Structures are given as C-alpha cells and as structure tokens.
Structure 1
Amino acid sequence: MAISGTYSFSVNFSPVFRCDVTSASGNLKRNLDLKRLAVSTEQTSTSTTTTGFAENGRTWKKSTGEEGDTTRRVGVEVSEEPERNRKSLKDYFGEVKDLIRSDGGPPRWFSPLESRSHTPDSPLLLFLPGIDGVGLGLIMQHQRLGQIFDIWSLHIPVEDRTSFTDLVKLVERTVMSENHRLPNRPIYLVGESLGACIALAVAAHIPDMDLVLILANPATSFSKSQMQPLIPILKLLPDQGPLSVPFILKLIEGNPLRMAVDNLVKGLPLGPTFGELSQNLLTMSSYLSVRLLNGDELYSDALNLYASLQFMVVADILPKQTLLWKLEMLRLASAYANSRLHAVKAQTLILSRSLYFGMVYSVSVVYLNPLLEKHLLEDGVDLVTVLKGAGFYRRGKYIDYVSDFMPPTPTEFKKLHESSSYEVYDTKEKSPMEQVNMLTIALSRGLRWIYLATGPVLLSTLDGGKIVRGLSGIPSEGPVLFVGYHMLLGLELFPLVSQFMIERNIVLRGIAHPLLFTRLKDGSLPELSTYDSFRMMGAVPVSATNFYKLLSSKSHVLLYPGGMREALHRKDEEYKLHWPEQSEFVRMAARFGAKIVPFGVVGEDDIGQVVFDYDDLMKIPYFRAGIDELTNEVVKLRIDASGEVANQDIHLPGILPKVPGRFYYYFGKPIETEGRKQELRDRKKCHELYLEVKSEVEKSIAYLKEKRENDPYRNLLPRLMYQTTHGFTSEVPTFDL
C-alpha cells in the first residue's frame, strides 16, 4: 500500500503530525520508513464510510458526504474483513527491523494506517509498550481496532534514556491535550508490562479524566518476580555468549516470543507444534540479521531453539546496557505505580488470570478476565472481542448498551456457538455458595452441549396462521418484541438466540438482569467475565431507558415479564407464568408500533426436576444468610411491585438431572400495535392487550406440551441414533404439524 507521506516525529513530546513528501525540511531520508503507518489524525477524505447496527438486528453500511448526515447512528459493527487480513509475526518482524534503527530522536507517537478507517466519534486509544519500547505490540490487532478507535502508539527508541517519570509526563500531556480538543470522548490507555505501569501512573495523576485502562500482564509485581534478584548477575554476563541469558529473558513479562515457549510447556501435540515452530523459524530467520548462538549448530530440542530465538530478538532490540536500563526502569515503575494505586479511579480491564497487585485495588470498576493470560502478539487474542464481551467499548462518558453495541462477527459467533466446557469442577470441601458459583460458570461456558443435548425444535406462525417449522414466520423488520416464558435457569436462551442468528441472521437483544453487568460490591457471585457471551450477543440491563432505545432503533427485543422469579421457580411450578399484575410493556410497544410475538417454550421437565427450592432453602439459617448475601451484591428489581413477582432473591435450587429430552419453541402470530398508540393510552385497553399476550403465551405452552407427546425423537437416544445414520449436522424430525 502506497502512502502519500512519510514520518516526522516531534522533538518536544508533542502529539503526532504529518510531514508531506514535498516538505522543505530536506530530511526525508533521516525519518523512519514506517511503510504501513501514518502520523496524521486529520481526516484526509471528504467521504467516510460508517457502519452500524441495522434496524432488524443485522449489519449495514452507509456513506456520509461532505455535508454530513443528521441520522443518529445507533450502533457500530466490526466487519469480518480485518479478521481475514490480520497481520502476523512476519509483519511484526518486518516492521520492527525498521523501528529499531537508532535515529537519536526522543519518544514519540505514531498512528497505524489501519486506524484511519475509524468513525469521527471513535475514542482515542494510546498504546503504551513493554520494555522493548517499539510500539508494535498491537500490530495483530490494528485492523480490527482501527475500525473503532483512533490509535496512537508510543515509540521509545532503543538508545533513548528518558526516565519513567518523564514518560508518564509525556503520556499525561497527550491525554490532557486530546481531552481538551475532544472533551466528550473517552481515552483508552492500553498498556503491556511497563506500559501498564505508565497507564496506572497517568490515571493516578489525573483521576478526574475520563480514562479506560486496559492492562495486559501489568508489571506491578516486578519486585516479587524471579527477574529482580537476577539483575546483578546479568550485569556480570558478557555482551555475547550462550549463557543463561535466554532463560533470564524468558522471565520478562511482555516478551513477544514468550508464547512459543508457553505453548510447548502446555504440552501441545508434537506434530502441529513442530510445524508451527518450523514456519516461525523461517519467518524470523528472514528478518533477523543475527546468527545462532552456537554458530551453525541447531538445537535439536525445540524449547532450546526458541529460547535462542528469544535471545536473538531481544538482544537485537535491547542490547545489554539498554536491557539493564530498562530493567531498572521496570523496578522503579512497579514501585511508583503500586504506591499510587489508591488514587486510580479509572475504569480498568485487567487481562490476566489473577491480580498482580499486593494490595486492594481501589479503582471504580475492575473487570478481571480469568481466561486470558496471553500476550497481545499471540494468536487467538482479539482485543476487540474482549472489549465487546466485557462491555468496555463506549464512545461517551457512559456506555450506551444500545448505540455502543457491536453485533458479533461470523467468527465471533462461531466461537460462541461452538464453545464447550471441558473443565472439571471439584466441589469437595467447597461451601454451598462456592458450589453455586462453579455451577453457574460451568453452565455459562458449556453452551454448545446445551444445544446438542436438547435438539431444539422451533416453530413459527405465518401471516395466514399456518404453523411451520423454523423461523420464517418471524418479522424481518423491527421493532419486534418477543414476550415469553422463562424456563428454569434460563436454559432456553442459548438455543433460542443461536438459532435466530443461524437461520435469520437476527441479533435478539435480551432484556437482562443487572447482575450480568455490574455489582454493588464484591462477594460470592461469579466474575463478570462469566457472562461475556451474553453481552456479546446483545443483552442489555433491564431499564425503561434501554427498552425505549431498543424499540426506537427497531431492534428485535426479547422480554421475560416473569424475570428471575420465573427462572428460579419453586417445585411443581413448571410452565407457570409469574407476571406482574399491571402491564409493563404494552404502551411502549404501541408507541413505536412494535409487533408483539408471544411465544412458549417447554422441555425443562425433561432436563431436571426441582427437589430443593427457595422455600426449603429459606428454612435453613445457613442458606438463608447465603441468599441474602448474594442478593445484596446486585441491584434490586421491582422493589415497588407486589406479589410473587417481587421476589427477586438470588439462589440456586436443588435440581435432580435427567437424561436430556428436547426443547420446543412456538412463536405465535404477531400482534400488531401499529396505529393503536392513541387507543392503548387507555389503561383498560392496555391491560386487555397485556392479558391477551399472556393468554397466547399460555396457549403456546399448552400446544407444545400436547404435541411433543407424538414426537418419536423427544428422547436423547432416538435423536443420537437418527444422527448416526443421517449425519450429525442433519435436522432431526419431530411431530407432524
């Protein structure tokens, strides 16, 4: 890709700027040739392409001319194209080779060309590198991040000796300058290792600034690492030689090639691993102008080979004296950041299996992702997907779960749909509350098995009233409001949402309990990362505002009036609706002319039976205290309601599992509200429609309970036998319609 200019960096720590080819400086050869990078934050085109979330739950694109566009954008979408064009280690080494050349310049910002595709209201993302200082740690993420962020990366030349505190001041000045220029957009600080310490220090210095911290393997625990006592030994080592330096360097957090050693240690299959090693060896040998440590001798052991390659790369980027300088800076940075943690108030996402801090972390929002302990240059790490799942992408001061939502790409949906839980949860010597948490996590991660074990049958109703298998009777254009019965533990959700995506490419936006999004305090509930898949698929916290926004954006909305009381029902309450006495959704649906689709679902009684319910638990003081503890961790709903529906206590009933049966869904004929806005302002008319919807849901459940008795494949074994002979991707028949 040709570009119309090259790079010129500021000599006074100022933000990035463009230096045209026609510049009179006469110094173009002196500047770094950063091929695929650009340093301008200006809009060089008079026409931009914006992407959004379609009215029917699918993706769309539109062009905006010079005069702009007054249409309110209700969402963004990250396309599949960048996933296919994702850069690799080959690109990393090619661009590192240019960047490590010493030019005598100070630390400065550069912006990858990929970030020029972002929309005008995209947040600013400042990447702060680890001890290598190159600034290419996000190179595999540039394509996707560039669609939704304005990316600036900090480059610290190899021979630069800027102190940690001066680096903090540089970043702090940039943050304040950009905030002054565009005060309504948040600024993301993505820091890895040393860069994470810089991000924490900046956030502590300007706690009132709207910052979002993304910390990948932060080096705040450097004082406890194995590297600390080895620094004096490193000083005694010769500049070159095959001593223990590879082992020492392997301990450094944020080393770009550490993932290769990690993969070997984890015991990956020998065949694929060796193939990957061979390919990566060819890639790296093409871009490194150094020789193997032992002359032409190749290590027969793959681990030693990669340790050698580690040394070559890091030694090329960080010569011994530079490495010592960086390690001393790392020590000071760790101590500096730890001493100021109490002042950090920024929203923070920690990409690590566990906290790296030896003290209580005092930020306003800490989201810990226990599944991601990888480096940003490692295959399989997609920062955009992580941000979407964590609910950490926003373009304003607060996240808007409707307009900031990005529908899952085909690749993301495939990973969610095919995810399985293979973890074994040992419940021995665990408290009841810990066992509840383990089961919740297992259910949320073991999504695919629910779909396979229940063989879902989905029926819908055409305009003429004919019932058909599949979702062809579902309206394509929104707004559409699906109102139905919430089965035990909400087990119907995954097959339901998945099939809407598979068959109709419709994102079903569920109105969900706030516990999926926030906590009032720390406690025994599972980590928020447990619910990443729900947020990825478009769930929003229950509120009148979010309901309004979803309908106004013509979305397909999923609503369960029975809420948690219905999903955590008592013994012998299968298929019993627990709806509020007064209507909650009719007037809002009528305001936007939404089609109301009542639906029923059955099958929970073929999965398990409640044998120890809420009433039983509340009779035992120990369990009663545990229920109170869990309930007090989250926002309470329906505090003004009366009756059973007002009971929103969080608990897990005792369930006796059964050999899985089958799930059945029936979507009734859509009820039109278009043109009835004035009519439904009447309280009596509104309540009549509410009761009509409830009655249709009950009729749908009764219909399914009757018809499933004639399904020869209701039980698991007949379905498995059918799929054995017809293929496991074939559709298993059901009862006659």
Structure 2
Amino acid sequence: MGGGYIATFTAGAGFLTAPVKWFRSLSTQRSASVVSVNAEHKVNPWPKSTTTTTTTTTTTTMPTVGAAMTQEDRHINGKAVVAGAVEEDQEVKRNWRDYFELAKSIIRSDGGHGSGPPRWFSPLETASRMRNSPLLLYLPGLDGLGCGLVSQQQKLGKIFDVWCLHIPVKDRTPFQELVLLVEETVRSENYRSPERPIYLVGDSVGGCLALAVAARNPDIDLVLILANPATSYSKSHLQSLLPLLEVIPSDLSLISIPYTLSLMTGEPFNLFSSSMKKGLGQQVTFEQLSEGLSELSAYFSVLADILPRDTLLWKLQMMKSASSFANSRLHAVKAQILILASGKDPLLPSLEEAERIRGALPKQEVRVLKGTGKMPKCEIRKFPDSGHLLFLADGVDLVTIIKATSLYRRGKLHDYVSDYMLPTDAEFNKTSDSFRWLNIATGPVMLSTLENGKIVQGLEGIPSEGPVIFVGYHMLLGLEIYPLVIKFMSERNILLRGLAHPMLFAKLEEDEMDLSMFDSYRIMGAVPVTASNFYKLLSSGSHILLYPGGMREALHKKGEEYQLFWPESSEFVRMAARFGAKIIPFGVVGEDDICEILLDSDDQMKIPYLRQSIERRTSQIQLRTDLKGEVSNQVAYFPGLLPKLPGRFYYLFGKPIDTTGMKQELRDREKAHEVYLQVKSEVQSSISYLKEKREKDPYRSLAARTLYQATHGSEADVPTFDL
C-alpha cells in the first residue's frame, strides 16, 4: 500500500466527518516518502457544538517579517503591521472539554473499539501557514490519541506544518517500533526538505519517544520540545498503579480505573478547578457549579474508553520501557531542546527531572557567544501552577513560549530578523501589564524634537517610516528600556528592535541566572548585538535601539551615573548612511534616583566567591576584546543595590539626523567620525537639559503624581515642567 490513505471518523447514529488526513500506517510497507497534507482532502475535526465552520480549501501563505519585507508585505490578512503588534485573528478558544469531545470522536472513528495501527493526522485548522513553515510532529502522552494540542493547534498551524501521532486504544505496538515509525517519518521528511528543521513536541511518554529518535538521528536537524517528559518514570507514583491493575476485577475496571487515575493525576480536576477560579469573579452560581461537576463526571466514561484496564496496563509498561530506553541514550542527543516543566505535576517530578536531563545531555558550543565554554543546548521553562496536562492548562500558549525562547526557525540557524514574529495584541498586553508597576513608579515623560528644532511633549517628532536608529544612554540595569518600548508601541504602533547583549539569549555554563526573565525582550524583538543583525534590521526598515555604551553603562560603578562609555569610533554611522537611515540621539535621566549602588564590580572583585563567579561568566561572553580602555571592560556582574523612592523618568529624543544621500560622503572615516561625535554630543546635551528641567517639575516625586491621579483619575496623564 505504501504512501498513505484517508480515514474518516464516525460518530453517533450518523457519520461525523473526521478531523484528519491520515498518513502511513505502521502495518503497511515502509516507504521513503510520506504523502503531504492537501487542504482539499481535510475535513472538519470538530463536533458541530464545538467548532467554527471554515471554507478554506487551499493553503495560503503569510509574508516573511524580515530582511526582504517590503511595504506591501507588511500586511497580514489585510491587517497593517508596519511597525507594531499583529492583531490576532479570530480564534476558537478550546480547553479540556474540547479535548474530551474530540477524544470521543476519535475513538468512535477507530471503528468504535479503538483498533487500527498507529498513524499520522493533520488537523484541518492547520492548513494555512507561513511560507517554508517547518514540520512539527506531535508525539502524545499516555492517552496516545494525538489530540493533546487541541487548545494549541490553531496558532501552531499558522507557523508549522502540524502532524499528530495517533495510537489507537487497542494498539499494542512496542515502544521500539514506535521509535522506528517516527524515525522513518523524520528521515523521509528530512530527505524532502533538508534545509529546514523538524520539531518533535513530546508530551509525557512522547518526550521519551522524541529523545529516542533524536539520539538515533544525531545528524538530522531536530528541535525537541518536551512537556513533562516521562524519563523519570522510576520516581513516578504511577508505578504503584501497576499492582492494582493486575488484581482489580475486570467488571469493576470501567468505574474504578478512571477514578483512580484521576485521583492520582489530579486531572481533569485541576483543569476544571482552574476554569471555576476564572469564573469566581463573575459570581458562579450553585447551578453552574453543579452543571460543571455533572459535566466533569460525564467525562469519566470517556477516560475509561481512552484508558481501559488492559490498555492502561500496557501503557504503563511501555512508559517504563520508554523511560529506560531514552535515559540510556541521553548522551547521544545533539538536538536543540526546550523542556517545559510543571510545578504541580502529581504524576512525575517534572521540575527536578528537567534539570537532571539538562545536566545529562552532552555539552556543546553555543554559537551566539564568543567564549570557549561549552554547555547543553537546552533551555527550561517552568510552570509552577500547572499540572501534568500542560498543553491543556489555562494560560499556557506554546507559540508564545517558542517565540520567547527564540526557538522558531526555518533554516539551519535561527535568524533573529527573518524568523522573528511580531507580538500579538495579547502578547504585548501581557508584557505591558507585567511592567505596569515600573510605569506607575516612574511616570515617564517623553519629549521629541520636530524637524524645525522645536521640542514637544510626546512622540510627534519620531518618523513613522524606517530605518531609524535611536542612539542613547544606557541607565542603571537598563530599566529605561521597558517604558520606552511600551510607550512607542502603544502610542505610535512602532516596535523598537533592541540590539542587546548576547547574555540575554543563551544560558551560560554553571550560571544560576534564569533566562526566562528575558523572555519579554525576545518577544518584543530584541536581537543579539552583531554587525549582521544590525545590517538585517536596517535592510528591513526597522526602528532600532542602539546603546554604544552597552553593558559598561548599564552596569556602571558608584558615581558614574550619566557618564557615557562609548568607543572612540563606531561603524553605525557608515552603516546608517548605506541605507539612508535617520539617526535620533536621545538622553534619559531619573533612573539613578531609584537605587543606590552598594557593591559595584570593584567591590565584588574583592570577595573571592563573587570574583570567581564574575570571572567565569565574563570569560564566556567576551565582547569588544579588540578595544581598549573602559569601554572594553564589559564585566558581567549584578550590582548590589539599595532601593529608594523612585524618581521620574525623562526622555528627550533629538532632531533626526538624516543620512539619505550621504552614502558616498560618509565613506570617509573622518567625516563619519564627525557625525558620530555630533550624535554623542547631542546625547550628552539631552541629559544635561533633562537634569536641569526636572528640577522644575512639580510632579517629579511619586507622592505628587499619586495625589494628582487620585484627584484626576488613575489613567490621567500627569503634567510635567513647561517646555
């Protein structure tokens, strides 16, 4: 038979068209190729009560947001995305209820008794995606049905070609044969598109399957996303369920097994209680609660159909085998890995297991850094309040996680410009809300300069069209970035692409710093500061945030506030002229009113333990080694700080310096240096202007601003000094 075939699902008394296009079966003769998804062959996966009808029959493409993006390209489905966030398409919100409804449909589709071999299917709603989207293979958990991405697949389908592995209830394919099945698909698709990575999303025991395939195929470009991987089965409470399954009478298994499993896993109780908590603010009535509990109990029969006693016994035995198989081969895994670990997983010790896996993986060079240290190419994201069924948990968005970890790529290496996806409204709002406290505490005042040199309040003087380079002073810890980026997005719909330190993008060896604290930077478009990234941003017409002083300014020492630590010369002026970019010098003051530095780098280098930590970290992130003086002193440390009552932030954006038509003129290094010194001088002048003017601001203190908003409304703009 080879190739593939189409299966339909039946439901109830009539025929409910199935959710899927099936690919090859394990029982068929293995072939060197796999039939690709054709949208015209896909049918609706959802019962009519839980779906929105779609008439899409052909695959559409979305424009690449990157170096080759033209003015016409900067519209997605008719929505303008020239500089800011992408408005989210109408999405059908799905949850654990939809999972159970789909599970019932899938089980019925297997002839009503869960028969048939393992096979692939692609959900209908994943038909429309971006150009050159990589393949994503979903490897299910204990249930085996392949519908665990039900609440994620609509967004995933916009950027991936999604295939889900379905293992029917009564199938008894050994783990090693499942490895061969997935491996064959991986090799076949890699042969078809060798330039693109293949993503393996492994859920629980599916995580073991993903690791096993990666270990056996180290030369294939794989990206693994493991959600609560079952490699810690030997430490799992599930082991205690095996003796019970062996002795429980068959006539009681229909009732006892689903309840026992639910009590052990906490699912779907955890999912249900999460839904109820969301509704508490809306005065959930007793009737609503009763209906919800009744609905929940009805799904136990579905759980019994998904995992009857014999199937559950087989699955647990297979999980034991899978765990042993994967653990014995961790040393051979070379794939890029992201581990998602739940803090309230009653099945597995997922948080501890994530760290163990990372420590057991072979250490490799991380290309984004210039140091010589090696480290696992593995990141961890923790979800303290989530249970075992992570992808069904409220608030877990896999696409956002992939974007935040810079994991999405369509080639051999992640391109921070062409692979970047603009933040959605929801992502921007979440980022903005997380830094709302900083905005309230600092009451930022932003001034810009018009073409005629007049200084005005607000961002009227900022050009809408790029490329534009904002060149400024980096204040203590770089906290001025958050209000700046949020203000530009919310008021002008302009996304500032920051050129950031590589330390924000790769975990250093034996470093306790949690990279998740920088996820918002990556979602909002920060890129590692390299000449190639700068070039690509300019060519794509971006608004770029550049700090020549870098980490030396952001982590300055005592008494160094408002001092510029810039190189003697910079190539950014010549690069700007090449693209006719506008350069906007800007100054910021106020942040050093927040904190007093107690321990700077000089102080910490006198303490042996801190000195060793600083030297180890700094050695792995060598930057500007070709420069001399203070600007080359990029010491990676965190200052000891004493918080103060926050002062107000003041920003002044100078008059744009237009380099259009100056490409030939600024090839001369001396003339380019003159422009560079002009930019530096204007930054210093802006800082001096703001330091003088802030003394005349009646609302400089937090108390004065709080009182003003108490009388005028919390959303009222607080006035400042006269211009």
What's the TM-score, normalizing by structure 1? 0.83
Q: State the number of aligned residues.
A: 662
> In the alignment, what sits opposite 1:334?
323
> In the alignment, what sits opposite 1:138?
149
Contact 1:246–1:310 (Cα < 8 Å) also in 2: no
Q: Give the deviation of 1:280 after TM superposition.
A: 8.6
After TM superposition, list the pairs within 5 Å mapping 1:205-224 onto structure 2. 205-224=216-235
Q: Give the deviation of 1:665 after TM superposition.
A: 0.3
Structure 1 226/662 Cα, relative in aligned 2: closer, same or farther at 3 Å? same
> In the alignment, what sits opposite 1:361?
360
Deviations 1:493-545 (A, max 9, x none): 111111011111111000000000114x4223412222111111111001111
Aligned-partner SS, 1:713: coil
Deviations 1:638-695 (A, max 9, x none): 0010110000011122323221110000000000111001100111101100000000
> In the alignment, what sits opposite 1:426?
none
> In the alignment, what sits opposite 2:436?
448
In structure 2, distance between residues paired with 1:413 and 1:673: 32
Structure 1 599/554 Cα, relative in aligned 2: closer, same or farther at 3 Å? same
Q: 2:635 aligned with 1:649, yes or no? A: yes
Q: Give the deviation of 1:310 after TM superposition.
A: 6.4
- Higher alpha-carbon deviation: 172-181 or 87-96: 87-96
In structure 1, distance between residues paired with 2:20 and 2:134: 25
Instruction: Tell me which of 430, 435, 443 is aligned to 1:415.
Output: 430
Deviations 1:455-501 (A, max 9, x none): 00011111222211111111100000000000011110111111011
Q: Give the deviation of 1:105 after TM superposition.
A: 1.9
Q: Give the deviation of 1:47 after TM superposition.
A: 6.0
In structure 1, distance between residues paired with 2:587 and 2:95: 48
After TM superposition, list the pairs within 5 Å mapping 1:552-571 onto structure 2. 552-571=539-558
Contact 1:481–1:594 (Cα < 8 Å) also in 2: yes
> In the alignment, what sits opposite 1:320?
309
After TM superposition, list the pairs within 5 Å mapping 1:190-589 onto structure 2. 190-239=201-250, 240=252, 245=257, 248-250=260-262, 257=268, 259-260=270-271, 263=274, 271=280, 275=284, 282=291, 311-353=300-342, 354-356=351-353, 360-363=359-362, 364-371=376-383, 373-374=386-387, 375-419=390-434, 447-519=435-507, 521-589=508-576
Structure 1 588/18 Cα, relative in aligned 2: closer, same or farther at 3 Å? closer
Aligned-partner SS, 2:353: coil
> In the alignment, what sits opposite 1:676?
662
Sequence identity (%) = 56
> In the alignment, what sits opposite 1:40?
none
What's the TM-score, normalizing by structure 2? 0.85
Contact 2:143–2:306 (Cα < 8 Å) also in 1: yes
Contact 1:609–1:657 (Cα < 8 Å) also in 2: yes
Aligned-partner SS, 1:503: helix
Instruction: Tell me which of 611, 622, 643 is aligned to 1:636.
Output: 622
Deviations 1:21-49 (A, max 9, x none): 99xxxxx9xx9977799xxxxx9638644
In structure 1, distance between residues paired with 2:288 and 2:681: 63
In structure 2, distance between residues paired with 1:32 and 1:535: 35
Q: Give the deviation of 1:241 after TM superposition.
A: 6.4
Q: 2:708 aligned with 1:711, yes or no? A: no
> In the alignment, what sits opposite 2:680?
694
In structure 2, distance between residues paired with 1:51 and 1:653: 40
Aligned-partner SS, 2:721: coil
In structure 1, distance between residues paired with 2:130 and 2:687: 46
In structure 1, distance between residues paired with 2:281 and 2:579: 55
Match of 1:714, as an amino acid? R
> In the alignment, what sits opposite 1:158?
169
> In the alignment, what sits opposite 2:348?
none
- Higher alpha-carbon deviation: 655-664 or 504-513: 655-664
Match of 1:219, as an amino acid? A
Structure 1 58/258 Cα, relative in aligned 2: closer, same or farther at 3 Å? farther
Contact 2:85–2:493 (Cα < 8 Å) also in 1: no
Q: Give the deviation of 1:629 after TM superposition.
A: 2.5
In structure 2, distance between residues paired with 1:211 and 1:728: 49
Contact 1:562–1:578 (Cα < 8 Å) also in 2: yes
> In the alignment, what sits opposite 1:50?
63
Q: Give the deviation of 1:226 after TM superposition.
A: 1.2
Contact 1:258–1:310 (Cα < 8 Å) also in 2: no
Deviations 1:300-328 (A, max 9, x none): xxxxxx6x566433212111111111111
Structure 1 106/597 Cα, relative in aligned 2: closer, same or farther at 3 Å? same
Contact 2:495–2:543 (Cα < 8 Å) also in 1: yes
> In the alignment, what sits opposite 2:101?
94
Aligned-partner SS, 2:597: strand
Q: Give the deviation of 1:367 after TM superposition.
A: 0.5
Aligned-partner SS, 1:694: helix
Aligned-partner SS, 2:237: coil
Q: Give the deviation of 1:275 after TM superposition.
A: 3.9
Q: 2:627 aligned with 1:614, yes or no? A: no
In structure 2, distance between residues paired with 1:571 and 1:334: 53
After TM superposition, list the pairs within 5 Å mapping 1:162-181 onto structure 2. 162-181=173-192
Structure 1 379/173 Cα, relative in aligned 2: closer, same or farther at 3 Å? same
Q: Give the deviation of 1:610 after TM superposition.
A: 2.2
Structure 1 242/62 Cα, relative in aligned 2: closer, same or farther at 3 Å? closer
Q: Give the deviation of 1:624 after TM superposition.
A: 2.3
Aligned-partner SS, 2:65: strand
Q: Give the deviation of 1:106 after TM superposition.
A: 0.8
In structure 1, distance between residues paired with 2:704 and 2:547: 32
